[in-house]
Amino acid sequence: MNVHTPPTGKPAVPNLPAPPQPHAFHYAGGPTAILLIHGLTGTPAELKLVAKGLARAGYSVYGVQLAGHCGSEADLTATGWKDWLASALEAFDRIRQDHDAVFVGGLSMGALLALLVASHRSDRVAGCLLYSPTMFYDGWSVPRGSVLLHAAILFGLGRFFRFRENFPYGIKDDRLRARVQAAMESGRSEEAGLLYMPGRSLAQLLYLIRDLKPRLPALRMPVLVLHAREDDVTSIRNANYLAAHLGGNVEKILLENSYHMITLDQERELVIDHSIGFLKRTEPRRLAPPSLSLALTRGRS
């Protein structure tokens, strides 16, 4: 589902948490930082193109490598959603020490982890960038009957299942999809993610979603949701659900020519542009002194 695109320049050495994260990245920029979180079975590489676009706009961008990822299925099943959240929280706390404001974003499950980081660090998260958030596996490529299978997994049967990534692997672009498929089938999980999702790991995602749902109304930071109308993995029901249940201002933008992996697919430049626009609209409200913020508010009334 995911592919590594080599950066044009060598990333700065990441200042991210132990244990070592050889596939994490950091692109240096200004005082405002963005932490990007990859998806389940994925890799930080799936966010590098967007990260470089945000860095060109002057932001410091970090990509965390979640616990258990970029290795084998056994590595992944040795961890759970609380370990993945711990990776994201530790990365956020380290980044926040060095930056005036930090936004948190993510792709697929990474978008949900971004919201959980915001819930645990609500007074320190400037806003969230949610790319193809995955509250429900209900896209057009997901087999019918998956709801019953998810129920079985929640009842402890996950260890008996593993799921192969389905065509078109979240990618609408034909040439890029071929590269994605070749990379996954080669077993280079650090570049393309795992070809199979263990049932135990899917169960952990479902537990994560269960923990997140009741937290949504209390999350009042600005949020951008970007989702493809033709998402093959998660329908736009996911974007609509978050827009309806989050407690703060939500900007929802639907893309017309992409599938699930919008940070890599045909409209990735639009993803970058919309993200920068959201950051520019949101950042001044967060960083302006109280007197200036009050003046700006009065000026709009």
Is 108 catalytic? The answer is yes
- Do 73 and 196 form a contact (C-beta atoms < 8 A)? yes
- Do 122 and 89 form a contact (C-beta atoms < 8 A)? no
Tell me the C-alpha distance between 20 and 163, whole Å: 28
Query: What would the two tokens of residue 295 be?
Result: 């003046």
Residues 6+ apart with CB under 8 A from 187: 195
Helix (H) or strand (E) segment spanning residue 223: strand 223-228
Q: Considering 108, 235, 258, 275, which one is annotated as catalytic?
A: 108
Three-point CA angle 227, 168, 199, nearest 5°: 85
Question: 163: closest CA among 150, 180, 182?
Answer: 150
Q: Considering 4, 69, 150, 260, which one is annotated as catalytic?
A: 260
Question: 169: closest CA among 194, 190, 150?
Answer: 194
Tell me the C-alpha distance between 75 and 283, whole Å: 38
For the chain, how far is it from start to end, CA to CA, in angstroms?
A: 47
For residue 216, the number of C-alpha atoms closer than 13 Å in the C-beta half-sphere is: 20
Query: What would the two tokens of residue 196 be?
Result: 């199979």
Q: Considering 26, 69, 231, 265, which one is annotated as catalytic?
A: 231
Residues annotated as catalytic are 108, 231, 260
